[in-house]
């Protein structure tokens, strides 16, 4: 009997010891968990910050060659026929993103439509004195080494682009189109070149390429040059059926702006 009681005491004592060990192990595991959790959820005591800034100076350049060209005496449309005919070579550079070059006239001598002898479209060459009349101009851009562009088709709305005037107004007689300078400028119609593009560089606009997308443009280096060919529509007036210009002397100034939006 004593042996059985001793055995029970020993067993009970060992059981208590095991319980204590289990409790100690559990407590240690919980403590370790608390330590890990406490470390993972530690809060930042203090934060300091500094600011950084830099300025890149804008660098732009634009030159034109030739500075002038003459159509001579003509009663028919004067389209470029050789690579150097009626061509302005623009050499440019810009480190803005994006940048653009546009073409326009600024015939301030022509009254607005609301005034006496006013006109909606004022772009092109202008007769010497009022009441004024104009000879529309159209343009196409190419790389300087390319051959001269071919003459535009009679469909003047899709071949070449008109040289717009900064004072052009919308003609209410043409319900589909808005010919005002503001709308044309916003839509990029006067742009002869723009950039940069993916990989650097820029492109010159070639309206004679009717396929949309990349094929509509001819590649050009960002610090390179672009040739802008300008046709005079003396024989057709840029309309179909043709409305030839009246006899007289015509002249004008063509402007090119290099800008960034």
Most confidently predicted of 96-110, 131-145, 231-245? 96-110
The rounded percent of the chain whose pLDDT value lies above 90 is 38
Q: Is the pLDDT of residue 75 over 70?
A: yes
Residue 16 lies in a domain: no
**Average pLDDT over the chain, rounded to an integer:** 81
Print the domain residue range for 117: 60-259
How many other CB atoms are there within 10 angstroms of residue 130's CB atom?
A: 12
| Contact of 139 with 192, CB cutoff 8 Å | yes
Higher per-residue pLDDT: 63 or 5: 63
Distances (CA, A) of 2 to 8, 11, 187, 232: 10, 14, 109, 131
Higher per-residue pLDDT: 148 or 234: 234
Average pLDDT over residues 215-224: 63
Residue 48 lies in a domain: no
| Contact of 135 with 242, CB cutoff 8 Å | no
| Contact of 96 with 257, CB cutoff 8 Å | no
> Residue 92 pairs with which residues in a beta bridge?
62
Residue 24 lies in a domain: no
Higher per-residue pLDDT: 255 or 92: 255
**What's the residue count for the chain?**
261
Tell the burial category of 93 from Cβ atoms under 10 Å away from its Cβ (0-12, 13-18, 19+).
middle
Residue 3 lies in a domain: no
Most confidently predicted of 81-85, 214-218, 243-247? 243-247
Q: Where does residue 16 fall: left (phi above 0), alpha (psi -120 to 50 degrees), or beta otherwise?
A: alpha
Higher per-residue pLDDT: 117 or 199: 117
Q: What is the pLDDT of residue 176?
A: 85
Tokens coding 122: 């004022």
Residue 82 lies in a domain: yes
Q: What is the pLDDT of residue 135?
A: 95
The H-or-E segment that residue 139 falls in is: strand 137-142
Residue 49 lies in a domain: no
Q: Is the pLDDT of residue 14 over 80?
A: no
| pLDDT tens profile 107-156 | 999 999 999 889 999 999 999 877 899 999 999 998 876 778 888 766 55
Residue 216 lies in a domain: yes
| Contact of 202 with 218, CB cutoff 8 Å | no
Q: What is the pLDDT of residue 108?
A: 94
Lowest mean pLDDT among 25-39, 101-115, 159-173, 241-255: 25-39
Residue 7 lies in a domain: no
Closest CA to 250 of 53, 49, 110: 110
| pLDDT tens profile 15-71 | 555 555 444 545 544 444 444 444 556 788 999 999 999 999 998 889 999 888 889
| Contact of 234 with 136, CB cutoff 8 Å | no
Q: What is the pLDDT of residue 238?
A: 85
Q: What is the pLDDT of residue 212?
A: 55
Q: What is the pLDDT of residue 222?
A: 58
pTM of the model: 0.78
Domain count, the chain: 1
């Amino acid at each position: 009997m004593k042996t059985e009681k001793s055995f029970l005491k020993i067993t009970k004592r060992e059981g208590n010891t095991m319980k204590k060990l289990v409790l100690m192990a559990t407590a240690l595991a919980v403590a370790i968990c608390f330590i890990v959790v406490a470390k993972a959820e530690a809060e930042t005591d203090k934060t300091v910050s500094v600011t950084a800034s830099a300025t890149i100076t804008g660098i732009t350049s634009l030159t034109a060659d030739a500075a002038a060209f003459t159509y001579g005496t003509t009663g028919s449309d004067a389209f470029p026929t050789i690579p150097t005919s009626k061509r302005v070579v623009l050499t440019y550079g810009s480190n803005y993103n994006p940048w653009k070059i546009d073409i326009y006239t600024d015939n301030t001598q022509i009254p607005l439509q609301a005034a006496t002898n006013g006109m909606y479209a004022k772009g092109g060459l202008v007769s010497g004195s009022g009441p004024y009349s104009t000879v529309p101009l159209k343009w196409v851009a190419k790389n300087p080494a390319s051959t001269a562009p071919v003459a535009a088709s009679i469909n003047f709305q899709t071949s070449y682009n008109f040289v717009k005037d900064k004072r052009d107004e919308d003609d209410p007689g043409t319900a589909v189109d808005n010919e005002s300078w503001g709308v044309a400028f916003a839509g990029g119609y006067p742009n002869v070149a723009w950039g940069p593009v993916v990989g650097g560089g820029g492109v010159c606009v070639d309206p004679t390429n009717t396929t949309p997308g990349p094929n509509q443009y001819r590649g050009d280096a960002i610090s390179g040059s672009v040739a802008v060919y300008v046709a005079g529509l003396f024989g057709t007036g840029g309309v179909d059926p043709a409305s030839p210009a009246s006899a007289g002397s015509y002249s004008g100034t063509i402007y090119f702006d290099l800008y960034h939006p």
